[in-house]
Structure 1
Amino acid sequence: MSSGTIDIEEFENADGDEFEERTDTEEIVLFLDEHDDRAWKAAMIAERLGLKTDAVSAILSRLKERELVRHKRPYWAITDDTERLHAAYRLHRHHEQADEQYGAERLEELRTDEMEDVQ
């Protein structure tokens, strides 16, 4: 995670919303996507992101159930199904927007069959 500072060049070159807080799941998916040429052990992902290994392992297992990561013990890699990854990202963004607009308690009422397919 962040040390509280970043290089000024990184700051200047960043998009306006780039530094918004991300969930651990988002951090892991982004990390694996940015390093899609490698497979990683959960402990190394945890170390790189400043997270606990147990938490990373649990998140990776959930992502595997959704077919967003691949796993060959002990290594993990982002899915090679880019359409599925993009669909999951779109769903995630819609969920965030709905949460902001309607509140978390009403999200279940808005669930669609398309959402079920990705989850």
Structure 2
Amino acid sequence: MSIDINQFNERSPEELEELSNPELVLRFLWENRDRAWKAKEISRRTEINENSIHPVLSRLEDRGLVRHKGAYWALTDDLERLRQAYDVHRANQLFNDLYGAENRDEWIEASENGTE
């Protein structure tokens, strides 16, 4: 994926970190929130593999962050829901930066052994 040279020059290194597929979709839909899009076009514009876009969109819909009608997808009109999701995401990033990312296998092992 490429970015405009002005974005490169103006953004901090943190802002240039690679975004996840859900983040790319939400950013694209936010920047184009006056329209609804077909999944194939979202895939093309975000450079997300076409085979990956439907699962991403479905998970975002399950979380109430996007809407789906027929072949079209759009950002939710619930801005409070978006803000809350963003706040949780930023807090998670902060804790990962401070303490390291969590390891799912360690959580499973601890729950099975009754340890912390």
Q: Does TM, normalized by the shorter one, top 0.5?
A: yes
Q: 1:62 aligns with which of 48, 59, 72?
A: 59
2:44 match: secondary structure: helix
Matches for 1:75-114 after TM superposition, within 5 Å: 75-103=72-100, 104-105=102-103
What stretches of structure 2 of length at least 5 have no aligned partner? 108-116
| TM-score under structure 2 length normalisation | 0.80
Q: Which amino acid is 2:11 matched to?
A: D
- Compute the RMSD of aligned alpha carbons: 1.8
1:82-111: CA deviations, max 9, x gaps? 0100100000111111122223139x7xxx
Number of residue pairs matched by the alignment: 103
- The corresponding residue for 1:15 is 11
Matches for 1:31-46 after TM superposition, within 5 Å: 31-46=28-43
Structure 1: how far apart are the matches of 2:4 and 2:74?
Answer: 27
The higher radius of gyration belongs to: 2
Q: 1:52 aligns with which of 29, 49, 54?
A: 49
Structure 1: how far apart are the matches of 2:15 and 2:47?
Answer: 19
Task: Percent identity, please.
Answer: 43
Query: What's the CA shift for 1:23?
Result: 0.8
Structure 1: how far apart are the matches of 2:25 and 2:40?
Answer: 12
What stretches of structure 1 of length at least 5 have no aligned partner? 109-119
Structure 1: how far apart are the matches of 2:61 and 2:7?
Answer: 32
2:103 match: secondary structure: helix
